[in-house]
Amino acid sequence: MLRLIFAIILAATGFLLGREAYLHLLSQHVAGEYWQFTFLFVTPVIGAALGVLIAPSVEQLFERELTEAESSIERMSPPEIVGGAIGLIVGLLIAFLIRLVLLEWFSVAGAAGTYIGLALYLIVSVFCVYLGVRVGVKQRLGWLARTGAAAPAAGPRAIPKIVDTSVIIDGRVVDIAKTGFLDGPLVVPRFVLRELQMIADSLDSLKRTRGRRGLEVLSTLQESMDLEIAESDYADIHEVDAKLVRLARDRKGKLLTNDYNLNRVAQLEGVSVLNINELTNAVKPVVLPGEELNVSIIRDGKEQNQGVGYLDDGTMIVVENGKRLIGEHVDVQVTSVLQTVAGRMIFARPKR
């Protein structure tokens, strides 16, 4: 729709410019009536065609600049936005007053003087608007700045947390949010919601269940804490992970994820990451070699005669010579602890 509007506007502009070019430039150099009649129609049509051809490029430039402007506004606090708006209005008012003086001075020089005055007015307007916005943003209007500083959204701790799809499906973020360890707003991008909706509508029953669970988790989060749906999107980026990293960098926030690869990419891009798996491993009780535990061995391990059990927090325990004890609760003694990317593994041997 936007491209169609630009095409119509630029086609009409090209048509009128082509007509003016013929009347003031070409008509006086064409002698025959046939060529006069031909150029009268051909020149405006060429101008309209050129307008239609450049419409897609102009539309893409417009959307790109609009996205950048939106991202800049999202990074500003409310006092800065209000101060910038007031500075914009003041700048336009000053430029309008200067315009009256400029046109009065240059109008005595005829049409050429009027054109020069209009050109100077445009330059002065851009200068005044730019200066007004910058000064207004820096001033931030004292009373609004104080109000914003007292509000959680504008405080120094209010760092937005960009939520990944894996965290939503995982569901542990709800319990973490209830404890109060997550401060600041949780930001769920619209493209993450679309990905979650695709998973919920999948033909695979397992994926469909995970997607619906993710939607339920979002509903619970919306009731318990500040949840923002971000409309920001990046047409030049196709991968959801790359969009998340870009959004976190633009919003100066932190990325909340369980994805190890996304974690590493974000760190390389200079984006702070909150990994729920790392948090879970950090709060697990510390187990030292020599300690005694009681564990139920439920299956055999990868190596010969090994048995595998789990603690209440999900930590895997590999028991030497435990294969013959599958299905039993046994006392084991810890021999070593291994920290891996996937989590913590405990190696032990039966006491008897």
Whether 149 is covered by a domain: the verdict is no
C-alpha count within 13 angstroms, C-beta hemisphere, residue 91: 22
Is 207 in the same domain as 254? yes
Is 132 in the same domain as 110? yes
Whether 220 is covered by a domain: the verdict is yes
* Per-residue DSSP letter, 227: E
Whether 148 is covered by a domain: the verdict is no
Is 110 in the same domain as 18? yes
Written as six digits, the tokens of 128 are 């005044």
pTM recorded for the entire structure: 0.46
pLDDT of residue 70: 66
Helical packing angle, 190-200 and 240-250, nearest 10°: 150
Is 221 in the same domain as 246? yes
Is 6 in the same domain as 91? yes
Is 305 in the same domain as 262? no
Q: Which of 305, 323, 324, 314 minimizes the C-alpha distance to 346?
A: 314
Q: In DSSP terms, which residues pair with 296 in a beta bridge? A: 329
- From first to last of its 352 residues, the chain has per-residue pLDDT tens of 666 776 777 777 777 766 666 666 555 555 456 555 566 667 777 777 887 787 778 777 777 766 776 666 666 666 667 777 787 788 778 877 777 776 666 666 555 566 566 667 667 776 766 666 666 655 544 444 444 444 444 444 478 888 888 888 888 888 888 877 777 788 888 888 888 888 888 888 888 888 888 888 888 888 777 788 887 778 778 888 888 888 888 888 888 888 888 888 888 888 888 888 778 777 777 788 888 888 888 888 888 888 998 887 778 889 888 888 888 888 888 888 887 656 678 898 888 7
Whether 145 is covered by a domain: the verdict is no
Is 172 in the same domain as 215? yes
Is 10 in the same domain as 133? yes
How many domains is the chain built from? 3
Helix runs in the chain, H state only: 2-21, 33-74, 78-106, 111-139, 142-150, 165-170, 172-179, 190-200, 205-224, 240-250, 260-268, 276-283
Is 241 in the same domain as 198? yes
Q: Supply the range of the domain harboring residue 321.
A: 287-350
CB-CB neighbours of 216 under 10 Å: 13
